Amino acid sequence: MPYITTSDGVEIYYTEQGSGQPILLSHGWPLNSDAWALELKIFADAGYRAIAHDRRGHGRSSKTYTGNDMDHYAADLNDLVEALDLRDVVLVGHSTGGGEVVRYAARYGKDRVAKLITAGAIPPLMLKTDANPEGAPIEVFDAIRNGVLSDRSQYYRDLAHPFFGANREGSLVSAGQIDDFWRQGMQMNVAAAFDCIAAFSETDLTDDLKAIDVPVFLAHGDDDQIVPVDAASKKAITLLKNGTLKVYPGRPHGIYGEYQRELDRDILDFIAK
Q: Which of 54, 201, 224, 233 is catalytic?
A: 224
192 within 8 A of 112, measured Cβ to Cβ: no
Q: Which of 95, 195, 201, 220 is catalytic?
A: 95
Strand 22-26 and strand 89-94: pairing?
A: parallel
The four Cα atoms 211, 130, 199, 73 give a dihedral, to 10 degrees, of 10
- Asked if omega into 30 is within 30° of 0 (cis), the reply is yes
Pairing of strands 89-94, 113-119: parallel
Let me know if 224 is a catalytic residue. yes
User: Are 9 and 77 spatial neighbours (Cβ–Cβ below 8 Å)?
Assistant: no
The catalytic residue among 58, 94, 161, 253 is 253
Comparing CA positions, the residue from 49, 58, 61 lying closest to residue 85 is 49
Distances (CA, A) of 7 to 76, 77, 78, 133, 234: 8, 11, 10, 37, 35
The amino acid at 184: Q
Contact 206, 124 (CB under 8 A): yes
Q: How far is CA 56 from CA 80, 119, 169, 171, 226, in A?
A: 12, 21, 36, 32, 22
Could you tell me which residues come within 8 angstroms of residue 218 by beta carbon, excluding any fewer than 6 positions away? Answer: 117, 118, 121, 233, 236, 237, 240, 243, 244, 245, 246
| 72 flagged as catalytic | no
Report the alpha-carbon distance of residue 42 to residue 30 in Å, rounded. 23
Please state, in angstroms and rounded to a whole number, the distance separating the CA atoms of residues 196 and 184: 15
Which residues are marked as active site? 95, 224, 253
